[in-house]
Amino acid sequence: MKKALITGVTGQDGSYLAEFLLEKGYKVYGMRRRTSTPNYENVHAIKDQIEWLSGDLTDLASLMEAVRISQPDEVYNLAAQSYVAASWPQPLATGHMTALSVTNMLEAVRMMKPDAKYYQASSSEMFGKVQETPQKETTSFYPRSPYGVAKVYGHWITVNYRESFNMFACSGILFNHESPRRGHEFVTRKVTDAAARIKLGVQKELRIGNLDALRDWGFAGDYIKAMWLMLQQDEPDDYVISTGEMHSVRDLLEIAFSHVGLDYRDYIVMDPQFMRPAEVDLLLGDCSKAKQQLGWIPEVSFEQLIHMMVDEDLKRVKAEHRY
Ligand code: GDP
């Protein structure tokens, strides 16, 4: 039985990946950080199938212990401070959790289980002020937020450990990926939840920022398969994972609200609080390498994704308000 260790297992990607690996017959170890208010919402259905280990990304000893106990064949490092907007008010915490912690995790693997295959969650935010379009593995990085800067560090330290210590370390440069499990602060979930709440009469308006931002949005359930595929190859490498389609925040609003028969223009309020000190205007990925070498393709279209999220939010909001 193969063993996998996942950090960030209670998050969106971690929960989909854990389900996928359990279905493949893996023993899944999930690392969790102690908090006073634990949140198992995303892993509710599989909570008892996960072997839980406690650890904190910023505490090397705890990571070494997690790797020592689990002796994983594969390590998926998904935990981070992952919300771009929060990285300006908390630049140092973001640096510790999103950048330096990657070295902690790589060191833990190098010392305790050097032959484990390692996946690093890199991000399209590294492209920031894009130097070419579409963006691919060879495109130069130009991060535009403390989060993006931290992810560039995580990316290069992963490449460096591969080259320095011959570790099987891969970095997946994933473009935005969403699902009904996406955190509520991200724009997709914020919009689909608002469409549901406004439709059901429990919210009046949606306060929002830059409507012109363009993103390459895919489905998280598709993207975690690419993570696994990267670790099944003969050689470690880095891959862009994206849909190759770009939409604006305005398109997102249009699709979500029209799905419930509403016109978004009647409900949005522009709020400068949601504008960013430096914006990433557009992201569009070219995932030809992943298609050719991994045989990976995205299966859920943007429209299907947004409909799926609105439908789930409708169900949840109805249940909350006992419709
Ligand atoms: P990101 O690409 O990782 O920053 O993902 P987000 O979902 O947080 O933001 C995507 C884009 O939507 C960014 O360009 C934001 O500036 C834009 N956006 C516009 N209004 C909002 C909002 O109210 N919340 C968030 N999170 N993003 C917004």
Summarised one tens digit per residue, pLDDT across range 90-121 is 999 999 999 999 999 999 999 999 999 999 99
pLDDT of residue 54: 95
Nearest Cα neighbor of 252 from 193, 175, 173 is 193
Q: Is the Cβ atom of 311 under 6 angstroms away from ligand 1?
A: no
Q: Is the Cβ atom of 213 under 6 angstroms away from ligand 1?
A: yes
Question: Looking at the predicted complex, does its ipTM rise above 0.90?
Answer: yes
Quick one: what percent of the chain has pLDDT higher than 90?
98
CA 264 / ligand 1 centre spacing (Å): 17
- Rounded to two decimals, the pTM is 0.97
Catalytic one of 123, 124, 145, 171: 123
**pLDDT of 180 above 80:** yes
Alpha helices in the chain (DSSP H): 12-23, 60-70, 91-94, 101-112, 146-165, 187-199, 220-231, 249-259, 288-294, 302-320
Q: Is the Cβ atom of 274 under 6 angstroms away from ligand 1?
A: yes
Q: What is the dihedral of CA 296, 127, 18, 225, to 10 degrees?
A: 0
pLDDT of residue 322: 77
Q: Is the Cβ atom of 246 under 6 angstroms away from ligand 1?
A: no
CA 187 / ligand 1 centre spacing (Å): 5
CA 186 / ligand 1 centre spacing (Å): 6
Please give the average per-residue pLDDT across 245-259, as a whole number. Answer: 98
Catalytic one of 19, 74, 125, 178: 125
Longest dimension (CA), the chain: 59
Query: Residue 126 has what DSSP assignment?
Result: G
Q: Is the Cβ atom of 248 under 6 angstroms away from ligand 1?
A: no
Catalytic residue status for 142: no
Angle between helices 249-259 and 187-199 (to 10 degrees): 30
Catalytic residue status for 16: no
Query: Residue 135 has what DSSP assignment?
Result: B
Supply angle C-alpha 310, 12, 175, rounded to 5.
Answer: 85
The Cα 75–Cα 63 span in angstroms is: 11
CA 320 / ligand 1 centre spacing (Å): 26
| Residue that has been written with the tokens 């401070």 in this structure | 81
Dump the DSSP string for 260-321. TT--GGGTEEE-GGGS-SS---B--B--HHHHHHH-----S-HHHHHHHHHHHHHHHHHHHT
Please give the average per-residue pLDDT across 288-313, as a whole number. Answer: 98
223 is in an annotated binding site: no
**pLDDT of 323 above 80:** no
Nearest Cα neighbor of 176 from 123, 250, 225, 113 is 123
Q: Is the Cβ atom of 190 under 6 angstroms away from ligand 1?
A: yes
Catalytic residue status for 123: yes
Specify the residue with its C-alpha closest to ligand 1, atom 6: 186
